[in-house]
Chain A
């Protein structure tokens, strides 16, 4: 049991380091396509954290929806909005704005970190039991049936809206 816990912790910190590094590259990278590829690393790492939390269905959904669909959508978006003139447009705001954004980010991290440390100090996750897909679907189709239906209507509306917006008249 203890050995498994050590292995879990090592896996957590390795994946967490990958996620943080990838996320930093996403927001600082000078190349749009590279930023999208770093995003793949972040999203895959998050899926790994779900596996560590024994949430297998969410992990698989993450891979299917985020890695399979959303990243491809982003790549299409990048491709279709490339400047025809050839010269690379400025991707970042001017330096003073970037410094301001960095200060805001660090302050926010400080406040949230203190709040989390204060509220959940030493709280153990408990024995992580595998949350099986059947249980998730039972919960989804009983307790959360109405929100599920609403989400499907929202998705349909968003799809139709996207097609209407992007259609070339």
Chain B
């Protein structure tokens, strides 16, 4: 198999995620789109990891980095949803267009 197969899949998933972040207005859906972006990155990391592993069997950096990204993504979703919950509690809505306190 070619490396580019996986890299292109990652690129497509990344761009769909970016579209979701820009086009959605609901905060939970924006967080889901961010998950798509993080998964795209993980596909790239594991694909490059497999490629390096084929030439240097002692090198497993790709997989280890993917695990770190998964752990950070879990932390991000936890804090992100807590923030969304706070916004909902204070404003009765999670419409991102209404969160404009800093606009002055």
A49-73 residues at the B interface, CB under 8 angstroms: 49-50, 52-55, 57-58, 61-62, 65-66, 69-70, 73
- Mask, B58-96, CB within 8 Å of A = 1, is 001111101110111111111101111110100011110
Beyond the given pairs A9-B1, A158-B76, 13 more chain A to chain B contacts, judged by CB atoms under 8 angstroms and listed by A's residue number, are: A24-B16, A27-B20, A36-B32, A54-B50, A55-B62, A58-B46, A58-B63, A77-B28, A93-B25, A123-B2, A143-B64, A155-B71, A165-B85
Given contacts A73-B77, A124-B3, is CB(A151)–CB(B72) below 8 Å?
yes
Contact B70 A62, beta carbon cutoff 8 Å: yes
Chain B residue numbers with a CB within 8 Å of A158 are 74-76, 78-79
Residues of B within 8 A of A (CB): 1-9, 11-20, 22-29, 31-33, 35-36, 39, 42-43, 46-47, 49-51, 53-55, 57, 60-64, 66-68, 70-79, 81-86, 88, 92-95, 97
17 CB contacts below 8 A, A to B, read A27-B19, A49-B46, A53-B49, A55-B66, A58-B42, A66-B39, A76-B81, A93-B24, A98-B23, A101-B22, A125-B3, A127-B54, A161-B79, A162-B78, A162-B79, A162-B81, A166-B86
Contact B75 A92, beta carbon cutoff 8 Å: no
Dominant secondary structure of chain A at its interface with chain B: helix
> Is A89 interfacial (CB-CB < 8 Å)?
yes
Q: Which of B18, B50, B75 contacts A105 (CB 8 A)?
A: B18
Count of A-B residue pairs with CB < 8 Å: 262
Given contacts A129-B53, A151-B68, A158-B78, is CB(A120)–CB(B23) below 8 Å?
no
A7-28 residues at the B interface, CB under 8 angstroms: 8-9, 12, 16, 19-20, 23-24, 26-27
